[in-house]
Structure 1
Amino acid sequence: MSIHALPTHLPLIDISRFHGGQEERARFVGELRKRLHDHGFFYLTGHGVAPKLIAGVLAISKHFFALPLEEKLKIEMVKSPPFRGYNRAGYERTRGQQDWREQLDINTEGAAVEIGPDTPAWKRLIGPNQWPNALPELKLLLLAYQAEVTRIGIDVLKAIAVALGQPENAFAEIYEPQPSQLLKIIRYPGRDVAETEQGVGAHKDGGFVTVLLQDTIAGLRVQTEDGVWIDAPPVPGTFVVNTGELLELATNGFVRADIHVVVAPPAGTERYSVAFFLGARYDATIPVIKLPEELKHAERGVSVDPLNPIFREVGQNHLKSRLRSHPDVARTHHADLLSPEQLSGSAGGSAY
């Protein structure tokens, strides 16, 4: 994977303007509408997350990854049917290729569901998180952060709805009372450790919106509609927000879900980030919303990737991504859902 990016910057969006006066809100919504159609990535300011919480989450993430490997492996994801826990670098795949990042995945806290012959397969995604006994304060901090980025994600989603000529709660019926809240703390080792420059391979995100916190090392690159790659380096005080496949589905392609990658950092360095993926309820089906006529003509249709089909059934879509991204967990706990190619390890994968 050799991806060379131009030194173009993503736009800056101040979400506090959405809560300003009527005229300011109208100007903000118009600017956001253009950004959503041009490409679905932007820097977000005015979000109101306490700097102390952000610093604390980054610090405890580094503390977690510095734990001895045997401590991290006590909560290895392969022990978790709902795909929660720790992954070593190279254990997640995108299009069948190893992603060189280690990470801890958590989602909405819940009890495991008893699975019977008639239980929808997506209910296997519901269950408890795994937390390290060696770092008990991690749970409190990450759940507090998860709540804050959920608030941000829903706020952005409301602004997107208004920008599309809809009531601000237009998407609430498919995320209330409980959206999917996938959170990853991530460490990318340098190229002296990684076997390729693929931190994460080229993919689109599968949810509504992603809220990404970057530390200090760059690596995120975004592909525009005309195929140009641009850098998205860390900007202090901001999150990188991008729209996912659910919004592309809901708007028949008016809103873009952009392809993006992360390249491994230079030798002798490491990159940290915290990614949050706000998704719809697992039992929801994504409708096509009726856009105003002045927007409808700009619909591009939903992109088609034969290697990674998109389903309107949210649970099916999310389960598909997890099965493909984490083949070891899939074979251990969900072999009955896999094709012969997936069971043999010859099928490709796709990042969420």
Structure 2
Amino acid sequence: MKKPALPVLDMSQLNGSAEERLSFLKALRGAARDYGFFYLTGHGLALEKQKAILDLARTFFALPEKEKLEVQMANSPHFRGYTRMQGEITRGKPDMREQFDIMNEEKALAPAVIHHAWQRLHGPNQWPAALPALKGALLDWQQRLSDITVLLLKAFAEALEQDKDVFADNVDGGPYQHMKLIRYPGQTQGSSNQGVGAHKDPGYLTLVMQDGQSGLEVQTDKGWVSAEPIEGAFVVNIGELLELASNGYLRATLHRVVSPPAGIERLSCAFFMAARLDSTVPHLALPAHLAAEAKGPESDPANPLFFEVGENVLKGRLRSHTDVAARHYPDLMRATA
């Protein structure tokens, strides 16, 4: 196997000797700063369980279209459910993938207590009646991934020489969770190869579990590199909230997915962790030697960044799922027209 294009970090070192722990924290800071991406091993999630989740994804996407459309995301003001091929937009172009999104399982807020548009993100998931095993399995998996990201967030605090609980006010009581099963079909003649267009993630951290098919690519100083699958490892990337919190010391990196060759499909499961929607990203007081290397968050007029977590998350949802936005958020679409 050729050397991976991205750093590989062993999370089990966090529970090792003091020397191993410091080695992990140093590698974590370097990977997040230099690449914004890395592979994560030693996370404690069995390979058999990973494969079982991808098998469930394969079973879901094999359902008749009618059954998948019964839980289509357009039904949900909370952005939960199934999105058909080319139903999500990235950088103005449709993505060649179908997907199934879930978030924290919760009740929708009563209209009387909604004072901000992002509060409409709270709500229940949609579950296909034809696949009853999906609910328990995915909610359990989502929580396991969430637990890993909370530990990583504490590690990032230490790596940046902060109190390890500096993000506690953001995540205590449960961070915002968002997970999706994704299927990328093989390219066909004349079709776009945009599995997902180049973008950054709006939260703190993302964990991606891939099958054996490559396609995920990361923009680096040397151009686009392939994050080829490593069995059992997750690909982790930094989101916009960590870039904001660290004043740009850590970087949220552009990444994309190129559609697989004809006749081959690619399956993945992506988990996005943000702070609680009602929280605000902290401004970390970096020590002088780190602050001197912080370049500030990247400025992009087409992609404004918000310290208010709910606003930053909703921004991404509205931009990516224009059908849900038009149906359930027409007031915001008129305001930005």
TM-score range, shorter chain: over 0.9
The one-letter amino acid paired with 1:153 is T
Shift >4 Å, 4+ stretches: none
Question: Equivalent residue for 1:115?
Answer: 111
**SS of the counterpart of 1:305?**
coil
**SS of the counterpart of 1:253?**
coil
Following superposition, the deviation at residue 140 of structure 1 comes to: 1.1
- Distance in 2 (CA, whole Å) between partners of 1:10 and 1:303 is 22
Deviation string 1:223-249 (CA, Å, 9 cap, x unpaired) is: 01x361111011001000011000000
- Distance in 2 (CA, whole Å) between partners of 1:194 and 1:327 is 24
| Alignment partner of 2:217 out of 196, 214, 221 | 221
Q: Are positions 1:260 and 2:255 aligned together?
A: yes
Question: Equivalent residue for 1:231?
Answer: 226
Q: Is the 8 A contact 1:220 1:231 kept in 2?
A: yes
The one-letter amino acid paired with 1:247 is L
**SS of the counterpart of 1:339?**
helix
Following superposition, the deviation at residue 116 of structure 1 comes to: 4.2
Question: Equivalent residue for 1:132?
Answer: 128
Question: Equivalent residue for 1:87?
Answer: 83
Report matched runs for 1:163-178 at 5 Å: 163-178=159-174
Following superposition, the deviation at residue 284 of structure 1 comes to: 0.7
Q: Are positions 1:62 and 2:22 aligned together?
A: no
- Distance in 2 (CA, whole Å) between partners of 1:117 and 1:174 is 21
- Distance in 2 (CA, whole Å) between partners of 1:193 and 1:231 is 23
Q: Is the 8 A contact 1:253 1:301 kept in 2?
A: yes
**SS of the counterpart of 2:111?**
coil
Deviation string 1:39-95 (CA, Å, 9 cap, x unpaired) is: 110000000012232111010100000000000000000000101000001010011
**Larger CA deviation: 298-307 vs 194-203:** 194-203
The one-letter amino acid paired with 2:177 is Q
- Distance in 2 (CA, whole Å) between partners of 1:78 and 1:277 is 20
Q: 1:134 to 1:310 in 2, by over 3 A?
A: same
| Alignment partner of 1:328 out of 323, 326, 333 | 323
Deviation string 1:115-153 (CA, Å, 9 cap, x unpaired) is: 249621111000000000000001111111101101111
The one-letter amino acid paired with 2:139 is L
Q: Is the 8 A contact 1:61 1:185 kept in 2?
A: yes
Question: Equivalent residue for 1:4?
Answer: none
The one-letter amino acid paired with 1:297 is A
| Alignment partner of 1:313 out of 308, 316, 327 | 308
| Alignment partner of 2:93 out of 97, 110, 116 | 97
| Alignment partner of 2:334 out of 326, 334, 339 | 339
Q: Are positions 1:204 and 2:200 aligned together?
A: yes
- Distance in 2 (CA, whole Å) between partners of 1:308 and 1:194 is 30
Q: Is the 8 A contact 1:210 1:277 kept in 2?
A: yes
Q: Report % sequence identity.
A: 50
| Alignment partner of 2:37 out of 20, 31, 41 | 41
| Alignment partner of 1:279 out of 268, 274, 290 | 274
Q: Is the 8 A contact 2:50 2:232 kept in 1?
A: no
Deviation string 1:152-172 (CA, Å, 9 cap, x unpaired) is: 111111111110001222211
Report matched runs for 1:8-23 at 5 Å: 9-23=5-19
- Distance in 2 (CA, whole Å) between partners of 1:330 and 1:170 is 34
Q: 1:194 to 1:260 in 2, by over 3 A?
A: farther
| Alignment partner of 1:161 out of 157, 160, 165 | 157
TM-score by length of structure 1 reads 0.92
| Alignment partner of 2:138 out of 121, 138, 142 | 142
Q: Is the 8 A contact 2:4 2:228 kept in 1?
A: no
**Larger CA deviation: 180-189 vs 27-36:** 27-36
Following superposition, the deviation at residue 195 of structure 1 comes to: 2.4
- Distance in 2 (CA, whole Å) between partners of 1:42 and 1:228 is 16
| Structure 2 stretches lacking a partner, 5+ long | none
Q: 1:194 to 1:287 in 2, by over 3 A?
A: farther
The one-letter amino acid paired with 1:139 is K
Q: Are positions 1:186 and 2:182 aligned together?
A: yes
Q: Is the 8 A contact 2:167 2:282 kept in 1?
A: no
- Distance in 1 (CA, whole Å) between partners of 2:190 and 2:148 is 33
Following superposition, the deviation at residue 27 of structure 1 comes to: 1.8
Deviation string 1:286-335 (CA, Å, 9 cap, x unpaired) is: 12101111111110110011111111111011111111110101111110
- Distance in 2 (CA, whole Å) between partners of 1:95 and 1:58 is 27
Question: Equivalent residue for 1:106?
Answer: 102
**Larger CA deviation: 306-315 vs 31-40:** 31-40
Q: 1:36 to 1:270 in 2, by over 3 A?
A: same
The one-letter amino acid paired with 2:303 is N
